Amino acid sequence: MMTPAVIARVMLIAFGAFLVAVPWLIPVILNKFWVSVIAEIMIWSLFAASVNLLFGYIGLLSFGQALYFGFGMYGVAIGVATLGLSFWPAFGLGIVASIAIALVSGIFAVRLTWHYFAIITVVFSLIFYFFAVSVKPLTGGDDGINFALPPTFSIGGVTGSFSDANFQYFFILATVALCFFLMHRVIRSPLGKAFVAIRDNDVRAALIGLNVYQLRLIAFVMAGFLAGVAGALFAFFGRYASASYMFYHVSGEAVVWAIVGGAGTLFGPVVGTTLFIVIREIVSTHWEHHAFIVGAVAILVVIFAPKGLVGLWNAELARWSERTNDASVKTKLRTEP
């Protein structure tokens, strides 16, 4: 019986199998370049998921997630280049740095909602953007920090390093998949249900006994964690960190990806990010104004599929399954004596 739940499971398995096969499959049908594009898409999907956790699940629209992405990047780059850390401590430093800054800014930001919240998140990211640009000795300013890649692990002569393209791809895949799995668990947990209750009706949520401020802060720090992991991965992926990734333009892109893909759905950000990065990669080589296409697609989706592409897909699937259920009921009735 093909219920929507079965179809979703089959698609998830097929999607997972495809991702595992990418390093062998893609060089054959396209070329090696697209393997690293797909790795990049996974990192940016994780970043869009951070916007989605806030906007789609607890109802806070952040235009400043790039700040936490940037802290993840700089944590890694400063850790490796300045402090001489190896892979894992630098990775940890990036994540801890982004969680810490998310906690500090969240304490102020989640007192506000809606456009006030959006504005304060932009302001925070701008403050740190200009700070990062001006503190040249620490951050490298506009040039950023380039660093030599440390090996991920080295056990008995076997070394895993991002300089091996396959290792890099699978490390990114595993980390992003783990983060999405954690998010999936949170969404289905009592905590996740409380998030959605606050998104739907925050006054009522307070009246049933939920500490709205505290829960919004928890969600904000979790989103900072997701953005920080994405930023740390991206630093290892690009072997550098730059203040330009803390600019609000980067935050805004993630908002578009999450909303077009489907805010409030686990895989919406993946769909949105994939769509726009593929458009960018294909069109930008032929036409420099690829942002026009991005804008047009975003406007069309917001008008015709307000719940995003995944929301549209889910609605169609539900309609289809209702129709087939009705049909099977009718057939049963007809066969009755």
Partner 1 sequence: MTEAVLRTENLTKRFGGLTAVDNLSLNLPGRRLHAIIGPNGAGKTTFFNLVSGLLAADSGRVFFQGRDITGLKPHEVSRLGIKRTMQIKSVFPQLSVAENLWVTRHATKRVLHPFRAASSDLETRERVEHTLEQIGLTALAQRPAGTLSYGDVALLEIGMAVISEPRLLLLDEPTCGMSPAETERAVAKIKQLARTIDIVIIEHDMSVVFEIADDITVMAQGGILASGNPDEISGDERVREAYLGRPEDEDYVEEAIHA
Chain positions contacting partner 1, by CB under 8 A? 182, 185-186, 188-194, 196-197, 199-201, 203-212, 215
Q: Considering the complex, what minimum distance in angstroms separates the CB of residue 195 from partner 1? A: 9
Q: Considering the complex, what minimum distance in angstroms separates the CB of residue 9 from partner 1? A: 16
Residue 305 three-state SS: coil
Residue 240 three-state SS: strand
Q: Considering the complex, what minimum distance in angstroms separates the CB of residue 192 from partner 1? A: 7
Q: Considering the complex, what minimum distance in angstroms separates the CB of residue 204 from partner 1? A: 5
SS (H, E, C) 97-163: HHHHHHHHHHHHHCCCCHHHHHHHHHHHHHHHHHHHHHCHHHHCHHHCEECCCCCCEEECCEEECCC
In the DSSP assignment, the letter for residue 30 is S
DSSP 257-274: HHHHH-TTSSSHHHHHHH
Crossing angle of helices 114-134 and 66-77, in 10° steps, is: 30
Residue 159 or residue 189: which is nearer to partner 1 going by CB? Answer: 189
Instruction: State how far the Cα of 114 lies from the Cα of 116, in Å rounded to an integer.
Output: 5
118: which 2 tokens? Answer: 């959006």
Residue 166 or residue 211: which is nearer to partner 1 going by CB? Answer: 211
26: which 2 tokens? Answer: 């893609």
Q: Considering the complex, what minimum distance in angstroms separates the CB of residue 177 from partner 1? A: 16
Residue 209 or residue 337: which is nearer to partner 1 going by CB? Answer: 209
Q: Considering the complex, what minimum distance in angstroms separates the CB of residue 207 from partner 1? A: 6
Residue 95 or residue 122: which is nearer to partner 1 going by CB? Answer: 95
Residue 136 or residue 185: which is nearer to partner 1 going by CB? Answer: 185
Q: Considering the complex, what minimum distance in angstroms separates the CB of residue 152 from partner 1? A: 27
Residue 290 three-state SS: coil
Q: Considering the complex, what minimum distance in angstroms separates the CB of residue 77 from partner 1? A: 30
Residue 189 or residue 324: which is nearer to partner 1 going by CB? Answer: 189
Residue 200 or residue 322: which is nearer to partner 1 going by CB? Answer: 200
Task: Check if the beta carbon of residue 114 is closer than 8 Å to that of residue 55.
Answer: no
What is the 3-state composition of the chain as percent helix, strand, coil, each rounded to the nearest 5? 80, 5, 20
Nearest by Cα to 23 from 42, 36, 40, 13? 36
Q: Residues 216, 218, 224, 229: is their CA dihedral positive or negative?
A: negative
Nearest by Cα to 246 from 140, 101, 128, 79? 128
Q: Considering the complex, what minimum distance in angstroms separates the CB of residue 134 from partner 1? A: 38
Residue 41 or residue 198: which is nearer to partner 1 going by CB? Answer: 198
Residue 196 or residue 293: which is nearer to partner 1 going by CB? Answer: 196
Instruction: State how far the Cα of 7 lies from the Cα of 315, in Å rounded to an integer.
Output: 13
